Amino acid sequence: MSNLPLNKKIIAFDIDSTLTESKQKLRYDIAELLLRLMEKAKVAIISGGSFHQFEKQIISSLNEVSAILKTSEIEHAPPSSLVAPNALPVFTNLLLLPTNGSKRYDYDMTKAEWKLTHLVHFPADLKEKVFQAFEQLIQSNEFNLPTETFGPALEDRVTEITFSALGQEAPVDQKQVWDPDQAKRQKIKAYLEAAVPEVNISIGGMTSIDIMPKGSNKATGLESLLEVLGMTKGDMLYVGDALFPGGNDYSVLEDGIETVKVANPLETAKLIKGWLS
Ligand SMILES: [Mg+2]
């Protein structure tokens, strides 16, 4: 614990451009670093993505790497009738916060699976307002939006609506060049803020915009987690790439949680390595 910055008890990470490249799977070397970090402190992972996206990008790699590592290196569960034989004890130190923390999943050792333990409500009539605003926006031709997308552009993630300008399945190279300076999305954000003032709109990833009911963002998601854990803001360190005004990590900085800004997963890996050395 002593190597961790300022003796933090919990380290929270964003996913896209922090732990992984946009929508890509967690690299094995970074998965190993995370598993080792979980032996020293709690780890929270928070992102605009759905739980399915967490499974695809993060959990799959963690499971695969923990299976590769020798049992002497990463602790496996002792035989017990209360613990599933394939359960991984370090996962009790991992908290998953999909859709910007409007959902929370904890690890259930008895079943070796992830369990939904918290959910923030997004009223249906408010969702309808958001969908209508997008319909007008797409038809207006003022926002340089592609007419054909790779998969649906709008996704209802129950507690959050996500707009991906090129579609959920768009190739990364096309995403990279679409809105590198965020100018297009800032314009969309301004339009939506005027059209639906009851929601919170944040820019994330390369092409996406996350929409949640006002007052619900990464900071409130993390705060509700800290409360459940009996911890305070001072116990947490947050690592993210979008810690600028309008970025999807900015609410955390504004909230007064200590943050570290990284540019990419390699910087995050270096950071964790430093804490573990
Ligand atoms: Mg990010």
Tell me, in angstroms, the distance from the centre of ligand 1 to residue 117's CA: 24
Tell me, in angstroms, the distance from the centre of ligand 1 to residue 29's CA: 19
Tell me, in angstroms, the distance from the centre of ligand 1 to residue 186's CA: 16
Tell me, in angstroms, the distance from the centre of ligand 1 to residue 107's CA: 24
- pLDDT tens digits for range 182-223: 999 999 999 999 999 999 898 888 899 999 999 888 999 999
Tell me, in angstroms, the distance from the centre of ligand 1 to residue 75's CA: 30
The band of 2, judged by pLDDT with boundaries at 50, 70 and 90, is very low
Tell me, in angstroms, the distance from the centre of ligand 1 to residue 72's CA: 34
189: helix, coil or strand? helix
Length reported for the chain = 277
Picking from 171, 153, 150, the residue whose alpha carbon sits closest to that of residue 161 is: 153
Tell me, in angstroms, the distance from the centre of ligand 1 to residue 125's CA: 29
Tell me, in angstroms, the distance from the centre of ligand 1 to residue 9's CA: 22
The band of 77, judged by pLDDT with boundaries at 50, 70 and 90, is low
Tell me, in angstroms, the distance from the centre of ligand 1 to residue 84's CA: 34
- pLDDT tens digits for range 198-208: 998 988 888 99
